[in-house]
Amino acid sequence: MFLKVQLPWNVVIPAENLDTKGLVLQKSIIVRLLDEFATKKATKDLGYLLAVTTLDHIGEGKVRQHSGDVLFPVRFSCISFKIFRGEIVEGVVHKVLKHGVFLKCGPIENAYLSSLKMPGYTYTVGENPVFHSDKQPTIEKNVVVRVIVIGTKWLEAEREFQALVSVDGDYLGPLDKES
């Protein structure tokens, strides 16, 4: 799910980048904010930080004593992406294993679909392993699959989410090429 959130941030501008012209200073603050924003990646509460939409407020700068750099408190709006339990999402299969498949759902690289959560599917070994079903299309690498999220996990060290998903439900499963 996409969220629009407002965040406070502290932007530090080195003394050599300061200029008396307001627009040049504002540009330096925006460029620095975007650089720092891009390295943040994700947070547990907000999910993946995707894009800054507006710079809402630039506070009064405070000079740091030892370096001469100036710290500006800013407030901005951004779009984030976070999945929730019970949400229906679509993902692309990028790895097929004996016990299930891994999907990419937007910025989430590891959404795991266990073979136990694929009723009616059987694993077929081969150079390109797949899950076959008599009633549904085959689940294989690069296939788009509509799934329901049954659990999420935040990994602090990697600053990313993992998800456990299922195709057990109405209108879930691999999508036909025409869909």
CA quadruple 87, 113, 155, 42: dihedral positive or negative?
A: negative
Q: Map out the domains of the chain as residue ranges.
A: 2-81, 87-174
Task: Please say whether the dihedral angle defined by the alpha carbons of residues 10, 11, 12 and 13, taken in this order, is positive or negative.
Answer: negative
**What class does CATH assign to 2-81?**
alpha beta
> 179: pLDDT confidence band, cut at 50, 70 and 90?
very low
pTM of the model: 0.82
Residue 140 to residue 123: CA distance in whole angstroms: 10
Class of domain 87-174: mainly beta
Average pLDDT over residues 86-114: 96
> For residue 80, what pLDDT is reported?
95
